[in-house]
Amino acid sequence: MASATLPTMDSSGWVAVRCIFRSRREDGEGEAVFEERLTLWQETDVDRAIERAETEAEAYAAETTWPPDWVTEYLGTAQAYVLSDEPADGAEVFSLMRNSHLAPTAYLDHFFTTGQERTGHIDEAGAEAP
């Protein structure tokens, strides 16, 4: 694989890598939980950042034991994003663009708000809302 060394003028020297995991009961029964996890790497070579992220992803999967009768596996999918700015307040750390003919609501429903997400909501006072 050819190295993807980044030019210094376009890169902050940081790469965010998104890895995908599946957690499920050891016996395979029931519904699985899929996790998208972003990690940040100080690296100028994208291939090296992905390699490091995948090594960490394998360790994360091996160490994740929630609940005790579940297993977590790294699914072998890694997507990298080169940060153009140093990580800081408000810095963009990941972006994924996708072409689609879907209308905005249909797009969001299809890719982001399927009803199966494990998310919480914060009310105006900063407390977690039901």
Condensed to tens digits (0 to 9), the pLDDT of residues 27-64 reads 999 999 999 999 999 999 999 999 999 999 999 999 99
pLDDT of residue 74: 98
Pull the structure tokens for residue 1.
């694989």
Number of domains in the chain: 1
- Is the residue at 1 inside a domain? no
Interior CA angle at 110 toward 105 and 112, to 5°? 85
Which residue range is the domain that position 20 belongs to? Answer: 14-86+95-129
- 101 belongs to a structural domain: yes
In a domain, 7, yes or no: no
| Domain assignment present for 26 | yes
Taking 70 as the pLDDT cut, the residues of the chain under it are: 1-9, 121-123, 126-130
Q: Is residue 22 part of a domain?
A: yes
pTM of the model: 0.78
- Distance (Å, whole) CA 4 – CA 11: 12
Distance CA 61, CA 53 (A): 12
